[in-house]
């Protein structure tokens, strides 16, 4: 019986597949370029052995930077963003950072 791959390795492979998807499509569709560039940087930050609030805030900033400009905004972006939000929660990012990353707003949550 084959041993299941470690969940962290599966997650890293999932994130890498999104990065490859954006890179591939950015060659023919310029609206993928902001998603590709942000995903490359976010993937690097996600590899930190013990991520801190510094990495969390930078990840949120990168997500917001894409949301603030014209980009492809398709299912690949939404899947990648969902994976990033999962990573933030799993690693203990505070609620305000997660809110910023999820909603693309700066500042404190409302309501």
| pLDDT tens-digit readout, 33-44 | 999 999 999 999
pLDDT class of 8 with cuts at 50, 70, 90:
low
pLDDT tens digits for range 58-70: 999 999 999 999 9
C-alpha to C-alpha distances, 29 to 7, 13, 35, 68, 75, nearest whole angstrom:
32, 24, 11, 18, 15
Reference 56, options 20, 98, 23; nearest CA is 98
pLDDT for res 73: 96
Write down the domain spans for the chain: 8-103
Mean pLDDT for 20-41 is 98
Alpha-carbon distance 34 to 21, whole Å? 13
Q: How much is the pTM?
A: 0.85
């Amino acid at each position: 019986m084959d041993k299941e791959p470690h969940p962290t390795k599966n997650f890293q492979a999932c994130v890498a597949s999104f990065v490859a998807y954006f890179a591939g499509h950015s060659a023919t569709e310029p609206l993928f370029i902001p998603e590709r560039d942000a995903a490359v940087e976010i993937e690097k930050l996600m590899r930190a052995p013990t991520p801190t609030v510094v990495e969390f805030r930078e990840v949120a900033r990168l997500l917001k930077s894409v949301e603030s400009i014209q980009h492809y905004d398709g299912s690949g972006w939404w899947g990648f963003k969902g994976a990033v939000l999962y990573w933030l929660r799993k690693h203990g990012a505070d609620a305000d950072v997660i809110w910023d990353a999820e909603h693309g707003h700066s500042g404190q949550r409302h309501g």
